[in-house]
Amino acid sequence: MFLARPQLSFAVLGIFWLPMWAFSGYLCDTGVMKARGTRSTAADALTAEIRVLVRAGLPVRAEACGTALLGLRGVKARAVRPEDAGSRARALDGLLREQLDRFENTGLAVAARLLFGAEPVTSGATLTARRQAAAAAAGYEVHHFRKRVEPKVLDLVAWQLRRDSEEFTARHASPPELRASSGPLMLPADVFAWEAAEHQHVLASLWGAVYQLRAELLTVARLASMDAPERETGNAAAAALWRHAQVLAAAARYRAAYGAVLLHTAADLGPQEIAGYAGWTPPLTAAQELLLAGIADPAQSLADFSTRLDAAAGGAGLAAMWRRALSGRDGGHEQESTTP
Amino acid sequence: MSLDPLLDPGTVPRRYVVTGGPSAGKEAVLDELHARGIPATDGEPAREIYRRHRDRLGRHLQVGDRRAYSRDVLEAFVAEYCGHTSGLRFYNRGIPDGYGWDAFFGLGPYPELEEAARIYRYDAVFILDPLDDFDSEDDLVFAKDREIRRVHELIIQGYYDAGYRPIFVPADEPGRRVSFMLAQLPVPAT
């Protein structure tokens, strides 16, 4: 018979049964046990939904889940089909089991798993039977357990689920964070690491292009505000178009590698939508965007880009429209050429 | 506990997975297993398959390439599973790691993976908790961007999806981690 049980690890680590006061202290420290008046409605809703879930026990069924549980970002991010409630429920089931296996209160870990039916001995049992087993394991009389301990267990589960969501998925698309480093970047020889690094490479390239575009858009806005000579503003607008084309090309490279949606963002953002983070740009047709992405080459200069755009069908007109729209000037008399 | 009964080649095959996200210290744990003479995967088959795919394509894997890579890795995992016929063996990742791989790229599991995860069962799964220096300043830039954590969590989710209850191995030096893992192993019935 296989005897391995995760909770044995605590014994190996020398972490033994914690008294109840430690549990209460932990909850206070982590903000789980705030006074009722200070609790957020969202936190209450999540705990209430977990209470409903406990009645049925594991495995999680979609019909036993409320919107707060199924809407957790950590759940959506793990679901194979995030748009499907059943798929989210399966993801929640795995996540809940993991959180119970990693229950933050060592002394109540076994009781929590028994209560939810995550242990074979209470799997499929009624709530009454699961509660009795949990109370016995925790060393409490069953009514005391139900009234005093069980709510704290549910609070802690809710807190762990919220923490997981906070840590797991970015709330919105944000550029890769940079930090000072005192040594060379060392990757483990691991395919997951290679893929994660490649994803970061493509993402960093995309964000890099977005920041380059932003810099040019700011210059155009400054020059327009200063009422700078038309040629100067036009040149800045042409540079912005060049950078915009590079954003479109970087977005196309991302899509080819990873699909139409940015991986691991809470919102279903497409890579091309990140371009909007640089600032307002004149609306372009799909054909115009395709043209720009096609002639953008990160290794080439602005002059090379402008030459290629001038030579392309509709390129000069596109550039003139862009300049006019971006600088807020009617460029009717200016030459229909992109070359600065 | 003596490992001799488990290492006896005359006993039924027992298969244990060692897995976790990058930077979890998997290599060091497998090296320690080898150093103790405990049968374990040599290298990581998925790495060579990955290199072969890149060499063949001449570029990085794209959306349309990933399923083929995933299938090749699955095939290698199944072959490694079936090639072990007696005694104890630790595996460098297991078949359900495929769930994490696919999920990382927003792909759903495919029928062959589901079937293999159902048929080829491991006796236990050890998930190495990320090492303490997981987020240290010299570590991966993208660790802070949660990329590595996502991989780790998706691997864990894959094993739960496949019906396992993983055993989490705390961050520690490799020798103590291996001792912890060995302490979880069953004593075979005589």
Q: What is the mean pLDDT of each run of 10 residues along chain B (190 residues)?
A: 74 93 88 95 87 90 89 94 93 94 86 96 94 52 60 91 93 94 75
Q: Which two tokens stand for residue B121?
A: 């069962």
Closest chain B C-alpha to A143 CA, distance in angstroms: 30
Distances in Å between the alpha carbon of A148 and those of A129, A137, A142, A227, A328?
Answer: 18, 15, 10, 71, 67
**pLDDT given at position A95:** 92
Q: How many CB pairs under 8 A join A and B?
A: 153
Cβ of B157 within 8 Å of Cβ of A94? The answer is: yes
Q: Which residues contact A299 (CB under 8 A, 6 or more apart)?
A: none
Chain B contact for A186 (CB, 8 A cutoff):
yes
Q: In which element (H, E) is residue B48 found?
A: helix B45-57
Whether residues B101 and A177 touch (CB distance < 8 A) is answered with no
Distance, CA of B152 to CA of B24 (rounded, Å): 9
| B22–A258 CB contact, under 8 Å | no
- The pair of three-digit structure tokens given for residue B48, joined into one six-digit string: 């060579």
Average pLDDT over residues A215-229: 92
- Residue A265 CA to residue A281 CA, distance in Å, equals 24
- CB distance B101–A192 less than 8 Å? yes
More confident: A286 or A185: A286
Cα dihedral A324, A329, A335, A338 sign: negative
What pLDDT does residue A329 have? 60
Q: Which residue has the higher pLDDT, A127 or A188?
A: A127
For the segment A241-251, what is each residue's pLDDT rounded down to a tens digit? 999 999 999 99
User: Helix, strand, or coil here: A308?
Assistant: helix
CA distances from B47 to B103, B105, B112, B155, B158 (A): 18, 17, 21, 17, 20
Averaged pLDDT score across all residues of chain A:
80
Lowest-pLDDT range of A9-23, A170-184, A276-290, A320-334: A9-23
Nearest C-alpha in A relative to B101: A192
The residue-averaged pLDDT of A71-99 equals: 88
Residues from chain A that touch B63, judged by Cβ atoms under 8 A, are 256-259
Average pLDDT on A16-29 reads 38
Give the Cα separation of A315 and A338 in Å (integer). 8
Which of A261, A175, A255 minimizes the C-alpha distance to A214?
Answer: A175
Kindly state whether A39 is in contact with chain B, defined as any CB-CB distance less than 8 angstroms.
no
Q: What pLDDT does residue A182 have?
A: 67
- 0.80 cut: is pTM over it? no
Q: Closest Cα partner for A338 from A325, B187, A312, B66?
A: A312
* SS3 (DSSP) at A265: strand
Distance of CA B109 to CAs A87, A96, B115, B156, Å?
Answer: 12, 21, 10, 15
Q: Match 């027992």 to its residue by tokens.
A: B14
Beta bridge partners of B169: B128
Distance of CA A87 to the CA centre of its chain: 18
Q: Which of A107, A111, A127, A108 is nearest to A119 (CA)?
A: A111
Question: What was the pLDDT predicted at A170?
Answer: 57
Residues of A in contact with B142 (CB under 8 A): 176, 196-197, 200
Q: Is the pLDDT of residue A17 over 80?
A: no
Give B133's contacts in chain A (Cβ within 8 Å).
Answer: none
CA distances from A200 to A168, B83, B146 (A): 16, 37, 11
* Top-ranked range on mean pLDDT: pick from A173-182, A239-248, A260-269: A239-248
Question: How far off is chain A from B181, nearest CA to CA, in Å?
Answer: 9
User: By the CB < 8 Å criterion, does B62 face chain A?
Assistant: yes
Give me the pLDDT at residue B104, please. 86
Residues of B in contact with A101 (CB under 8 A): 165-166, 168
Task: Assess: ipTM above 0.90.
Answer: no
Q: Could B142 and A168 be called an inter-chain contact, meaning their C-beta atoms sit closer than 8 Å?
A: no
Interface residue B55 vs chain A (CB under 8 A): no
Query: Measured between CB atoms, which of B22, B109, B185 is closest to A190?
Result: B22
Looking at CA atoms only, how far is residue A157 from chain B in angstroms? 17
Mutation to test the B interface, candidates A191, A201, A254, A268, most B Cβ within 10 Å = A191
Better-scored residue on pLDDT, B112 or A269: B112
Q: Which residue of A has its CA nearest to B53?
A: A191
Contact: A169, B169; criterion CB under 8 Å: no
Nearest chain A Cα to B98, which residue? Answer: A192
A173: nearest CA partner in chain B: B145
| pLDDT tens-place string over residues A23-46 | 444 443 344 444 444 456 666 888
DSSP β-bridge partners for residue B15: B89
DSSP code per residue over A222-254: HHHHTT--HHHHHHHHHHHHHHHHHHHHHHHHH
Q: Closest chain A residue to B109 measured between Cα atoms?
A: A80
